[in-house]
Amino acid sequence: MESLVKVFGCGALNRDLIFEVEELEALKKIDDRVFPGAEVKLERNEFLKLLKEVEKIGNCVFEGGGGSAANTIYALSNWGFNTGFVGIVGEDEEGKKIYDELEKAGVDLSLVFKKGTTSIALIVLDKRKDRFIAVSPGTGENYLPEFISEVLKSSEALKSQFHFTSFASEQGKNFQLSLLENLRSKIFFDPGEIYCRRGRKFLLPWLKKTDYLFITRQEVKFIGGVLYREFFNLGIKAVFLKMGSRGAVVITPKEEIYHPGLKVDKVIDNTGAGDYFNAGVIAGTLLGLKLECILRLANYCAGQSLRDYARRGCISKEEFKNQLNLLK
């Protein structure tokens, strides 16, 4: 790619298990937090209990690497961008699979550490393609604070561009805050439901160091509603409001631009679509595209990903280049 900037991701590294069921409602007997669009953190015993029930009524359709920032970095690396990741995987078979998949994609993993057990995410889809996510952090993230000094020794990482997404654990959150304080550049930031549920005061350290913010209407509600000028007063350049199949809006202090979602013939799975939207925005920004073109590129990346499960839906380098040529 034309951009020489290296992009690091920082967030959870999960092993994703995707199941299809007839109705999400059937799982409410196990956990009343199950509803379309929800994302919850579960202790491992709760998680395994829910997984056991899902296995009884559903079919496993995908198993592979996941995590919001990881999906975004995976896409950028496949499209030819210079990428890296900061995080941790367990010293188990799940962790090895996650590591190997990102390494094969060409991601710099010199700041991905191995200790404890791996985080697992259960994604449950019903016949309407509504989605529920349960995350079990495992123990790996508990050890992240041990490695912050090693990360801060990396002058390359500290001067690179970063994309931050949430950690489910307190240790992961504190690790991320320590890294954030030492970065020389502002970040791309997608707080997700896990961080947004903790409110605007919690989000403030990240928002103060954010250039480009990704958020949904539901997440705006979680932080009590917000006037966008509050974001801009913190120094944020642009807010990308993601609206799923309805498309997205980019909002800046000077303008609002809307672009509809990509029309697709058939939706197989929407897992990761928002992460590939983020990848399109980051790619377009690094390549110096105009905001309208960035939005169109991001919607294309997200829409095309619906054609298959999780990372299997990510567009190829050739598809990315073809779309880029059309925009130019």
Q: pLDDT tens across 177-201, in order?
A: 999 999 999 999 999 998 999 999 9
Can you list the domains of the chain with their CATH numbers?
7-327 (3.40.1190.20)
* Percent of all residues in the chain with a pLDDT value above 90, rounded to a whole number: 72
3-state secondary structure of 47: helix
Asked if 112 and 89 count as a contact pair (C-beta separation under 8 A), the reply is: yes
The 3-class SS string of 134-155 reads EEECCCHHHHHHHHHHHHHCCH
pLDDT-based confidence at residue 1 (cuts at 50, 70, 90):
low
Q: What angle do CA 220, 225, 226 make, to 5 degrees?
A: 95
Name residue 111's beta-bridge partners: 86
Specify the pTM. Answer: 0.91
| Rounded CA separation 89/117 (Å) | 7
Q: Can you say how many angstroms the Cα of residue 186 is from the centroid of all Cα atoms in its chain?
A: 18
Contact partners, residue 24, CB within 8 Å, separation at least 6: 34, 35, 36, 124, 126, 130, 132
Average pLDDT value for residue range 219-237: 88
Task: Provide the H-helix boundaries in 153-199.
Answer: 155-158, 170-182, 192-196
pLDDT at 147: 97
Residue 116 has pLDDT above 90, yes or no: yes
